[in-house]
Amino acid sequence: MKKTFFQIFIILIVFYGVSAFQQRNMLPVDDSPAPYFSLEQLNGEQRFTIKSLQGQTTVVYFFAPWCSICKLSMPNLQAAMDDGDINAIAIALDYESKEQVADFVSQMQLNMPILLGSTNTAKQYKISAFPTYYVIDESLSITARSMGYSSELGIKFRGKINAKKID
């Protein structure tokens, strides 16, 4: 029994270490505001700015339509949003065309706002891998961040915990 707990403990430490290493170059989690953006929406509606997120905790999810991990993780994000547990937007990066993004969104059956990012957006948010997401609080400060696959429970947990810090 002790051996099993020790092995689980070691696995958790390795997982935490790898996560911390992956996140080392991301934007910090502090009280500074998230970088400004004003991006075209995939559906052609008016531009979407970060100011639109003020007053609500939101997961800002960066993806690429060719990313296999994004294909596994985005349904979790959509399910968490459908349950009413979180607010979310997704920003497409590293895509060949608007049609490529539209095909991906259709295949994934996403109904959250999809924005078309640029290399400048990727630089501002220090995106080095996909998927990457930030949780932004009501005052537009980054309260959590992650890179790689996220379960529905993990997304809900980060969004809710960070929303409660504000209340």
What does the pLDDT look like over 43-78, one tens digit per residue? Answer: 988 899 999 999 999 999 999 999 999 999 999 999
Evaluate whether the domain defined by 2-164 bears CATH number 3.40.30.10.
yes
Residue 147's pLDDT is what? 87
Residue 160's pLDDT is what? 64
Amino acid letter, 157 = F
> What's the whole-number average pLDDT of the chain?
85
Q: How confident is the model at residue 29 (pLDDT cuts 50, 70, 90)?
A: confident
Range list of β-strands (E), 37-136 = 38-41, 48-49, 58-63, 87-92, 114-116, 132-136
Residue 99's pLDDT is what? 97
pLDDT at 117 over 90: yes
Between residues 157 and 141, which one has the greater pLDDT? 141
Domain ranges of the chain: 2-164
Question: How big is the chain by its Cα radius of gyration, in Å?
Answer: 16
Residue 166's pLDDT is what? 40
CA 33 vs CA 27, 28, 64, 134, 138: distances in Å:
10, 10, 24, 12, 11
Cβ-based neighbour number of residue 153 at 10 Å: 11
Burial 6-40 (b: 16+ CB within 10 A, else e): eeeeeeeeeeeeeeeeebeebbeeeeeebbebebb
Lookup: tokens for 24: 């080392």
SS3 70: helix
Q: Of 3-7, 97-101, 145-149, give the lowest mean pLDDT range.
A: 3-7
